[in-house]
Amino acid sequence: MDYTLVVALEMIRAIAWLVLLASGLAIIFGMMRIINFAHGEFLMLGGYTVVISTNAGVNEWVSILILAPVVVGVFGIIVERLVIQRLYGRILDSLLATWGLSMLMMGGVTMIFGNTVQGVSTPFGGMKIGAYQVPIYNFVLIGFAVLVLVAIWCVLKFTKAGLIARATMQNADMAEALGIRTRWVYMTTFGIGSAITGLAGGLLAPVTGVVPTMGMNLVGQSFITVITGGASVIAGTLSSATLLGTISQGVTFLTGPVYGDAALLVTALVLLRLLPQGITGRIFKRSL
């Protein structure tokens, strides 16, 4: 019984992890059809922000919740102005340019901050579930995953900015014709997507080793989650994260992490074959 509960909790945590990893990327990809290959390094930048500011004496929560999103968000806007804005509509060029950016960031962070930075510890400690102990921080991760999704949904659904964003997403030319400055919409979207990614990176900092190359292992999972989900930001991310997280963690518990990861990839392959436009290309079509 305890074990079932622990397994279930671990699955939910895995889903939350995928949601956090992928949300920022999903916004950028869903709204702008731009592939940000430096996504992993944006996460890394968030992690570095937290580690460095915490070591400099800033409160850990302030660094995670405020500094990480702000720093990465601003960095995202700069990148958008300098690079991405020249590449709209050139999905492949954007991929290559951001791949270059990813290497530049990895090398750059190594040069500036070095590759060994004192980490921050995980807050809260453990909690007993029967004979087992789980980190309380898992609940924090799950909570923030829910919060991020709800916040995106509220913004898209209830605010004027959300309406403009949705309009641009559906038909950029028409939106432009109606007097919306799509350039600003894109810039803001990229900034917000980056900020969410920064928050995710910040939240991951206490549970993983923060090193310049940490992004390399995260970018694959993030992409697969976003593409499997399809074009709608919330329904897509949530449905694919749920499916992939459950299957991969289930298999991990039964066999081991290799087959868990392999199961995630195979599931994504089969899904894409059956639903070539991602899950939300066929099901939940009209959702956000």
* Binders of other proteins in range 62-101 (CB under 8 A): 83, 86-87, 90-93, 96-97, 99-101
Q: Does 3 engage in binding with other proteins (CB under 8 A)?
A: yes
DSSP 64: I
- 135 binds other proteins per the rule CB under 8 A: yes
Report the nearest approach of other proteins to the CB of residue 148 (Å): 19
8 A C-beta contact, residue 214 and residue 47: yes
Smallest gap from residue 252 Cβ to other proteins (A): 5
Half-sphere exposure of 51 (CA within 13 A, CB side): 24
Q: Crossing angle for the helix pair 182-204 and 68-82, nearest 10 degrees?
A: 140
Q: How many CB atoms lie within 10 A of CB 129?
A: 14
Q: Which of 69, 119, 191, 229 binds other proteins (CB under 8 A)?
A: 119
Query: Is the CB of 11 or the CB of 185 nearer to other proteins?
Result: 11
Answer yes or no whether residue 139 interacts with other proteins by CB under 8 A.
no
Please tell me the distance from the alpha carbon of residue 123 to that of residue 237, in angstroms, as a whole number: 27
**What x/- string results for residues 178 through 207 when contact with other proteins is judged by CB under 8 A?**
----------------------------xx
| Strand segments (E) across the chain | 126-129, 132-135
Stretch 207-266 residues interacting with other proteins (CB under 8 A): 207-211, 213-214, 216-217, 220, 223-224, 227, 249, 252-253, 256-258, 260-262, 265-266
| 101 CA to centre of own chain | 18
Q: Retrieve residue 138's tokens.
A: 């898992």
Question: Which stretch in 69-77, 105-113, 148-156, 162-170 sits in contact with other proteins by CB under 8 A?
Answer: 105-113
Quick one: 31 or 164, whose CB is closer to other proteins? Answer: 31
Round to whole Å and give the CA distance between 132 and 111.
Answer: 42
